[in-house]
Amino acid sequence: MRRQRRAKIVATVGPASSAPETLRALLAAGVDTFRLNFSHGTHEDHAKVHAAIRALEQETGCSIGILQDLQGPKIRVGTIAGGAIKVAAGDRIRFVRTGTEGTAEAIPLPHPEIFDAVMPGHELLIDDGRVRVRVTGLPGDAIEAEVLLGGTISNRKGVNLPGTILDVSPLTAKDRADLAFGLELGVDWVALSFVQKPSDVIEARRLVGDRAGLIAKIEKPSAIETIDDILRLSDGVMVARGDLGVEIPHEYVPGRQKELVRACRQAAKPVIVATQMLDSMVGAPTPTRAEASDVATAIYDGADAVMLSAESATGTYPVETVEMMDRIIRATEAHKLYRSIVQASQPGMEETPPHAVAAAAADLAESIGAPVIVAFTSSGTTATRIARKRPALPILAITPSRQTARRMNLLWGVHASLAGDVGSYEEMVERGRRVAHEEGFAAAGDLIVIVAGVPFGRAGTTNNLRVAQILPTPQA
C-alpha cells in the first residue's frame, strides 16, 4: 500500500476505532503504525486489537507497525476532605506523606520519592498546571509551599515536578506486566513514558532487548538536558507535547520540538511529534486552521511521523481525522517552499563511511533523475541513514525481515517491501530492478540507485552503491 507522502501517520486505537472494519478504514485512510495505549484498556482488549491488525496485514499483504505505549508512573495527590479544596495565590499549604482526609494544612501526597528529592524553590504543578505552588520549607515529613496560581485541588489529581529529578523507575509493576504481555504479542515498538535520564532507557532496554524498537517519550525537562545520551540508547523518540507542555512554559514548546526533531535527524533515529495535533476533531468533522498549521509545522521541521491520540481513539470522526492529516501532510510536502525549509534544517553528516554512502546515494539519485532509491536492509539501518538526508524521492527498502518491514513504517520516506535474502551481488541488482518496477516506483528505461551492505545480511554495513537501469519486460 504505497503512500503519496513521506511523513508517516501514527493513530491510537481506542473504543472509537478498535472494530476490525474501522481499523481497515483507518489503514486505507493513511495510518502507517497503530498505537496501543496501555494507560487504558485490558490485556484482552489489546490482544483483540493486535490480532485484528495482524489479520488486516495478512488480508492486505502490507506490513503494519504496532506501537505499545506504556503508562509509566503516575504521581497524584491523595483523597481530599469533601472531594476538593480551593486555594488562592499567596496561600500557604502543606503536603504530607500519609492521610486520608486531606485539608489545606495536610494534603496527602503518597509518594515518598518526592519528599526525598524536592528542595525549596522547586515547583509542583497540580492538575496539568491549573494549580501551581512553590516549595518554601521541608519540616519533618512534610512539604510547605506557597500557592503561585490558585484553583481547585481535588481527589487524585496529577502532580508534575518540572525541576525535580525523582529517584523512581519509569517502569512500574503494571508497566512490567504490560511490557511482558506486549512483547509476547509481538509489538514492533515500545514507547517508554516518564524518561528522566539515560539510565531509565538502559533499564527498559534490558527488558526489551532486540524484540522491539525502544522509543523514549520526551515529556520531562531533565530528558531534554541529556537528549544526546538518551538518543544513543534508544531507537527513536516521541515528542510528547502534552506533559512536556505542562512542565515547561507553553511558549517554549515549539522551539523544543524543533530542537528534538533536529537532534533525532542528526542521530538518524525516527522522531514522532504527538499530542493534540487535530484535537478539535475529537468532536468536530474539521480541524481549526491553527491545528492544520501545527501538523504542517511538524512536517516542515522534518518529523518522521505525526500522531493522533484521542482524535482516533475516542473521537467521533477517527477515519475523517486520518484523512485530514494525510491531506495536510501531502499538501505541505507539495508546497514550493517545503524542500528548501527541510534542507535548511539538515543536520551535519556523521563522518563515517556508511553515512557517507547513504548521503551520496541520495545526492546521486537526485542528480541523475532517478525515481527511487532502493535500499537492501536487514535491520533497517541503511534505510534510516538515507532517510536522514530527506531526499526528494522515495526510498524503497527491501528486507527479508517482517519485523524490520513493520518498524520501517515509522521512517520518513520509506516504503518497505518484504523479500527473501539475496545470495549474490547480481541477484541483488536484479531483485532491486524487479521490485522497483513491480511496486510502481520505476518504469522500463529508468535509472535507479541501489544501496546495500556487503556482505549481505550483516546489520549496519552500508558500503555499496550501484546505478542500474530498469530493463524492458520480455514479451511473452
The pLDDT assigned to 422 comes to 84
- State the Rg of the chain over Cα: 24
Confidence at 476, pLDDT banded by 50, 70, 90: very low
Catalytic annotation, pick one of 217, 385, 389, 431: 217
Catalytic annotation, pick one of 3, 48, 74, 76: 76
The answer to whether residue 241 is catalytic is: no
Residue 418, pLDDT > 80, answer yes
The pLDDT assigned to 360 comes to 93
The pLDDT assigned to 210 comes to 95
Q: What is the pLDDT of residues 310-328, one digit of tens each?
A: 999 999 999 999 999 999 9
CA–CA distance, 376 with 457 (Å, rounded to integer): 9
Residue 296, pLDDT > 90, answer yes
Residues 6+ apart with CB under 8 A from 32: 3, 8, 9, 10, 64, 65, 305, 409, 410
Catalytic annotation, pick one of 275, 321, 332, 381: 275
Tell me if the domain spanning 353-469 has CATH number 3.40.190.10. no
Q: What is the pLDDT of residues 179-203, one digit of tens each?
A: 999 999 999 999 999 999 999 999 9
The pLDDT assigned to 460 comes to 65
The pLDDT assigned to 355 comes to 87
Q: What is the pLDDT of residues 124-148, one digit of tens each?
A: 999 999 999 999 999 988 999 999 9
Q: Angle at CA 351, nearest 5°, toward 217 and 375?
A: 70
Closest of 222, 216, 312, 309 to residue 271, by C-alpha = 216
Catalytic annotation, pick one of 35, 241, 390, 433: 35
Q: Whole-number mean pLDDT of the chain?
A: 94
CA–CA distance, 429 with 431 (Å, rounded to integer): 5
Q: What is the pLDDT of residues 107-118, one digit of tens each?
A: 999 999 999 999
State the CATH class of domain 81-160. mainly beta
Q: What is the pLDDT of residues 1-55, one digit of tens each?
A: 799 999 999 999 999 999 999 999 999 999 999 999 999 999 999 999 999 999 9
Residues 6+ apart with CB under 8 A from 4: 330
CA–CA distance, 148 with 360 (Å, rounded to integer): 55
> Which pairing describes strands 65-69 and 33-37: parallel, antiparallel, or unpaired?
parallel
The pLDDT assigned to 461 comes to 74
The pLDDT assigned to 463 comes to 85
Average pLDDT over residues 215-224: 96
CA–CA distance, 403 with 242 (Å, rounded to integer): 30
> Strand runs (DSSP E) across 330-452, as ranges?
373-376, 395-399, 414-418, 447-452
Share of the chain above pLDDT 90, in %: 87
Residue 97, pLDDT > 80, answer yes
The pLDDT assigned to 451 comes to 94
How far is Cα of residue 156 from the mean position of the Cα atoms in its chain?
28
Q: What is the pLDDT of residues 441-471, one digit of tens each?
A: 999 999 999 998 877 767 767 888 999 999 8
* Fold (topology level) of 8-72+169-336: TIM Barrel (3.20.20)
The answer to whether residue 258 is catalytic is: no
Q: Indicate the domain borders of the chain.
A: 8-72+169-336, 81-160, 353-469
> Which pairing describes strands 464-469 and 447-452: parallel, antiparallel, or unpaired?
antiparallel
> Which pairing describes strands 213-218 and 189-192: parallel, antiparallel, or unpaired?
parallel
Taking every pair of Cα atoms in the chain, the longest distance, rounded to a whole number of angstroms, is 89
Average pLDDT over residues 418-430: 88
Residue 299, pLDDT > 60, answer yes
CA–CA distance, 181 with 176 (Å, rounded to integer): 9
The answer to whether residue 275 is catalytic is: yes
Instruction: Lowest mean pLDDT of 93-102, 384-393, 414-423, name the range.
Output: 93-102
CA–CA distance, 25 with 22 (Å, rounded to integer): 5
